[in-house]
Amino acid sequence: MRKETKCIQAGYTPSNGDPRMIPIIQSTTFKYDTGEAMGKLFDLEADGYFYTRLQNPTNDMVAAKICALEGGTAGMLTSSGQAANFFSVFNIASAGDHVISSSSIYGGTYNLFHVTMRKMGVEFTFVDPDCSDEELEAAFKPNTKAVFGETLANPAMIVFDIERYAKAAHAHGVPLIVDNTFATPINCRPIEWGADIVTHSTTKYLDGHDATVGGAIVDGGHFDWMAHADKFPGLCTPDDSYHGITYAEKFGMGGAFITKATAQLMRDFGSTPSPMNSFLLNLGLESLACRMPVHVSNAQKVAEFLEQDERVTWVNYPGLASNKYHALAEKYMPDGTCGVVSFGLKGGRAAAESFMSHLKLAMIATHVADAHTCVLHPASTTHRQMSDEELVAAGVGPDLIRLSVGIENAEDILEDIKQALDSLE
Ligand SMILES: *Cc1c(COP(=O)(O)O)cnc(C)c1O
């Protein structure tokens, strides 16, 4: 199946008389005829469901669709993108371990790594995604367990050189984890470039309608845990909390990572999505392949318009030929990147605030990456506790306007931007 077909068909094939649509199995628990039959499930000796905190059929069917789109071997849903990124790292790195992360990542992920996981004893080194090979090499330590980056960094829109980072990670016997939220598997499939684990905030384009918060993890199935068994005892030695199972032996390269994340982390942290939310996520996925090209073409028109307007001081969109990351974007995302464009206006912070207050169609919202065009001025909202100097250091200058271009008619979006710019004078 090609990606457009997978959006519709993957993850669920109804049998004779079954519902055509992925059914919502809104049940906490599942019934068995004998205790013995249920015991086999607890021992991971048989496939089946017993309690929705660990696994639920609706969630699994939707996870299987995302897994198929990414070209992976196993997948799971989580209740948020935060939970997905936390699980993806904590599944293989715990107290005393070290992880290398791109410094240009979503702010919530940076906090998770830099503050919360640090409190849990996991140490992080943040590297500039454009650092030299020597700098990257120097970041590795004997206790490094993973490398992490975002295909398209939110909000800096830096394109992560997946192939380069995968090679470096593999040379040190550790996997590369890539957050593919902004590109989506329609525009980039990191596993094809060497990534081992792919994560998503499905809250963004995968849902695409501002309806549900959620996350996903997909295993590419190419990383040989057993070949680096000393680094990954959690996967390669018996799990006493799970009946002595050795995940990498029993479930192999294709299944060990997701089985462990489900059996241990989901069991203990309970970051389970509601089946109803997964049903809504699936509705979004069905139209993903239709929506992404519209986001890309609308954003391209907006970026090109802004670039030639004299009231605009700078525009950041990898689809522009003038963009620093244009060549990398063409390599990893030949069909385009996403709908998020950032820019600054002459008149800086004050002009940004005035411009936004005059927008009529583009609404002010913290959200990004969905069907509705929305806009955010980080300096006066999400980053308002920072001084102008701190904002510049964080790559989110006081003039930065983040515009998430939706799938309305491009002319309507452009007219809205034009009238808001005209009202500045
Ligand atoms: C939003 C976002 C997250 C966090 O996802 P939630 O669903 O809000 O928990 C993680 N990574 C990226 C790139 C994001 O844009």
Indicate whether 276 and 327 sit together in one domain. Answer: no
Indicate whether 196 and 339 sit together in one domain. Answer: no
Alpha carbon distance 279, 282 (integer Å): 5
Domain boundary among 282, 307, 332: 282
Q: Is 201 in the pocket of ligand 1 (CB under 6 A)?
A: yes
Into how many domains does the chain fold? 2
- Those residues whose C-beta lies under 8 Å from the C-beta of residue 135, and which sit 6 or more positions away, are 127, 128
pLDDT tops 90 at residue 347: yes
Pocket test of ligand 1: the residue of 199, 201, 202, 277 to mutate, having most ligand atoms within 8 Å of its CB, is 201
Alpha carbon distance 402, 286 (integer Å): 27
Share of the chain above pLDDT 70, in %: 100
Dig out the tokens for 105 from the structure.
Answer: 């990542």
Q: Is 294 in the pocket of ligand 1 (CB under 6 A)?
A: no
pLDDT value for 170: 98
pLDDT tops 90 at residue 392: no
Indicate whether 199 and 114 sit together in one domain. Answer: yes
Which of 39-43, 56-60, 232-236, 259-263 is predicted with the least confidence, judged by mean pLDDT?
A: 39-43
Residue 366's pLDDT band (cuts 50, 70, 90): confident
pLDDT tops 80 at residue 11: yes
Residue 332: its H or E element: helix 326-332
pLDDT value for 384: 81
Q: For residues 383 and 295, which has the higher predicted lDDT (pLDDT)? A: 295
Q: From 142, 145, 139, 98, select the one nearest 117 (Cα to Cα).
A: 98
Indicate whether 249 and 352 sit together in one domain. Answer: no
pLDDT tops 90 at residue 288: yes
Residue 146's pLDDT band (cuts 50, 70, 90): very high
74-78 sheet: strands from edge to edge: 74-78, 215-219, 197-201, 176-179, 144-150, 98-102, 123-127
Burial status of residue 47 (CB atoms within 10 A of its CB: 0-12, 13-18, 19 or more) = exposed
pLDDT tops 90 at residue 189: yes
Residue 40's pLDDT band (cuts 50, 70, 90): confident
Task: Give 232-260 as a DSSP string.
Answer: -HHHHS-BGGGTTB-HHHHHHHHHHHHHH
pLDDT value for 243: 83
Q: Are 188 and 332 in contact (CB under 8 A)?
A: yes
Residue 5's pLDDT band (cuts 50, 70, 90): very high
Indicate whether 59 and 186 sit together in one domain. Answer: yes
Indicate whether 82 and 231 sit together in one domain. Answer: yes
Indicate whether 266 and 339 sit together in one domain. Answer: no
State mean pLDDT over 375-397. 83
Domain boundary among 262, 282, 302: 282
Write out pLDDT tens, residues 12-23: 999 999 999 999
pLDDT tops 80 at residue 274: yes
CB atoms < 10 A from the CB of 134, how many? Answer: 8
pLDDT value for 362: 96
Q: Which atom of ligand 1 sits closest to the CA of residue 203?
A: 7
State mean pLDDT over 381-410. 87
CA dihedral angle for residue 146, residue 61, residue 41, residue 30, rounded to 10 degrees:
130
Q: Is 81 in the pocket of ligand 1 (CB under 6 A)?
A: yes
Indicate whether 183 and 330 sit together in one domain. Answer: no
* DSSP 8-state symbol, 192: G
Write out pLDDT tens, residues 225-270: 999 999 999 999 999 888 889 999 999 999 999 999 999 999 999 9
Indicate whether 258 and 355 sit together in one domain. Answer: no
Pocket test of ligand 1: the residue of 89, 177, 181 to mutate, having most ligand atoms within 8 Å of its CB, is 181
Q: Which atom of ligand 1 sits closest to the CA of residue 152?
A: 13
Q: Is 79 in the pocket of ligand 1 (CB under 6 A)?
A: no
Domain boundary among 219, 254, 282: 282
CATH of the domain at 377: 3.90.1150.10
pLDDT value for 59: 98
Residue 9: its H or E element: helix 3-9
CATH of the domain at 72: 3.40.640.10
pLDDT tops 90 at residue 354: yes
Domain span at 131: 3-282
Q: Is 150 in the pocket of ligand 1 (CB under 6 A)?
A: yes
Q: From 309, 405, 397, 394, select the one nearest 361 (Cα to Cα).
A: 405
Q: Number of C-alpha atoms within 13 angstroms, CB side, residue 348?
A: 8
Indicate whether 102 and 245 sit together in one domain. Answer: yes
Distances (CA, A) of 345 to 55, 312, 354, 378: 49, 4, 10, 14
Indicate whether 84 and 179 sit together in one domain. Answer: yes
Average pLDDT over the chain, rounded to an integer: 96
pLDDT value for 326: 98
Kindly give the residue spans of alpha helices, DSSP state H, lying in 29-106.
35-42, 57-70, 81-90
Write out pLDDT tens, residues 410-420: 999 999 999 99
pLDDT tops 80 at residue 96: yes
Report CA 6 to chain centroid distance, whole Å.
19
Indicate whether 264 and 295 sit together in one domain. Answer: no
359 Cα: distance to centroid of ligand 1 (angstroms): 25
State mean pLDDT over 158-183. 98
pLDDT value for 386: 79
CB atoms < 10 A from the CB of 390, how many? Answer: 12
pLDDT tops 80 at residue 395: no
